[in-house]
Amino acid sequence: VNPVQVGLGSQVASVDTLFSQGNVETTGLTTDLAIQGDSFFVVAKGNQFFYTRSGNFQLDADGRLVSPANGFVVQGRVAVNGTFQDGIRDITLPFGQKTAALATSEVTLAGNLDAAAQVFDQGTAATLDPLDPAQRAVTGNERSYKDVSITVYDSLGEEHELKLVLYKTGPAEWSWQVDTNGMDIDTSFGTNGIQVNGGSNPFVFNPDGTLDDDPATFTPPTVTFRPNSGGNDVTITIDPRGAGVNGLTSFAGTHNSVLRDQNGYTSGTLQDFSIDRTGTIVGSFTNGTTSPLGQIILADFNNPGGLMRIGDNMYSTSGNSGSAVYGYALEGSQSTLVAGALEMSNVDLAQEFTSMIVAERGYQANGRVITTSDRLLEELVNLKR
């Protein structure tokens, strides 16, 4: 020990920020986000980017996703008509935005047609009108008919009930026609308002009851009608195919065939949204459709401990942190997001309590040393007297 060296005491060597993963706790709020991984959210004030792991975001009056502590805006890429655009921009949710109607172009015909039904006797006086029960009762052919319907849409979003009448015309054959009763269409168009553009009619079934949809002999039929609403002509493909028994079948048993699905919809307005694990914001519209609105971007650093604190759990880059590497969850970044949840503090309470007790014991020991030194000095003074 150098007796000339002046004691400098103790001092803080450094203040470090620990970015280890904290526990994730569910909140149920859609705008609350937690990061699973080492990444950071990117927020902006003007043209300057900042970084945070605090995901308790809110929507401001303009529909922007912001940090409530300082109004910094969450960054990412936006989607226009469901297509992501290049560039990093403010994440804004366009509530009230409308989506255009989509005319139906395809319907799916599935279910079963009773193979035990009698063949329709085309030589009787009966017609193919399934709406006339007297006609059906007279010929006894009620089991030979099956009518199915589904709501379809024109280009203006107007609804039309497309009704298909299926009737048995052979041991393994079912023919079809469109019933236009009640449809608001131009009846001068085509035949009674319907133009058949080709396709298989009748539907032929294999000995095992499945549809004979061999591409060499089968083509899904298409029909066209002209709505009185002024919209464009609507051309719809009627597709009875399916893997195995998932399409239209003809087994002995109850009729349960249906026009199951169609791909059109009326216009809609954005009413809600959700965020998935990749940070993609998916809008829900009043017409039942969904569409991506944007995606939250993440940032990674070679040395996150070198980030500079600016307050409110926000950080900026420094020479020690290195530049931010931007990417989207599971694309450029391996982190993922948990919506409706927040990352809790990463402090290890048990370890901190232990450290506090150790420090307290150290102070107590040092205090006793000082007390003992005082007593020794006092005894020394007394001896001199």
On whether both 129 and 36 belong to a single domain, the answer is no
What's the structural domain count of the chain?
3
**Is residue 11 included in any domain, yes or no?**
no
Query: Model confidence at 128, in pLDDT bands (50, 70, 90)?
Result: very low
pLDDT digits (tens, 9 = 90+) for 320-330: 999 999 999 99
Q: Are strands 73-80 and 106-112 parallel, antiparallel or unpaired?
A: unpaired
pLDDT digits (tens, 9 = 90+) for 7-55: 666 676 666 777 888 889 999 999 999 999 999 999 999 999 999 999 9
**Is residue 165 included in any domain, yes or no?**
yes
Give the end of a domain, one of 262, 283, 306.
262
CA distance 238 to 263: 12
On whether both 122 and 158 belong to a single domain, the answer is yes
Query: Model confidence at 133, in pLDDT bands (50, 70, 90)?
Result: very low
**Is residue 201 included in any domain, yes or no?**
yes
On whether both 140 and 250 belong to a single domain, the answer is yes
* Rounded average pLDDT over 217-244: 92
Q: Dihedrals φ, ψ of 288, to 5°?
A: 90, 0
* Rounded average pLDDT over 143-168: 90
Q: What percent of the chain has pLDDT over 70?
A: 87
**Is residue 176 included in any domain, yes or no?**
yes
* Rounded average pLDDT over 243-269: 88
Which residues are CB-neighbours of 348 under 8 A, at least 6 positions away? none
On whether both 280 and 378 belong to a single domain, the answer is no
On whether both 212 and 123 belong to a single domain, the answer is yes
How much is the mean pLDDT over the chain? 87
> What pLDDT does 303 receive?
93
Would you say residue 308 has pLDDT above 90?
yes
On whether both 245 and 148 belong to a single domain, the answer is yes
CA distance 330 to 277: 9
* Rounded average pLDDT over 338-353: 80
Would you say residue 349 has pLDDT above 90?
no
Are 330 and 336 in contact by the 8 Å Cβ rule? The answer is: yes
On whether both 310 and 243 belong to a single domain, the answer is no
**Is residue 382 included in any domain, yes or no?**
yes
Of 101-105, 128-132, 191-195, 293-297, least confident by mean pLDDT is 128-132
User: Higher model confidence: residue 355 or residue 149?
Assistant: 149
Q: Quick check: helix, strand or coil at residue 180? A: coil
**Is residue 84 included in any domain, yes or no?**
yes
On whether both 232 and 327 belong to a single domain, the answer is no
CATH number, domain of 254, equals 2.60.98.20
**Is residue 77 included in any domain, yes or no?**
yes
On whether both 289 and 377 belong to a single domain, the answer is no
Give the end of a domain, one of 237, 262, 287.
262
> What pLDDT does 385 receive?
63
On whether both 144 and 163 belong to a single domain, the answer is yes
**Is residue 6 included in any domain, yes or no?**
no
Q: How many CB atoms lie within 10 A of CB 185?
A: 21
| Full residue range of the structural domain in which residue 319 is found | 24-97+270-343
Question: What's the pTM value of the predicted model, to 2 decimals?
Answer: 0.74
On whether both 112 and 203 belong to a single domain, the answer is yes
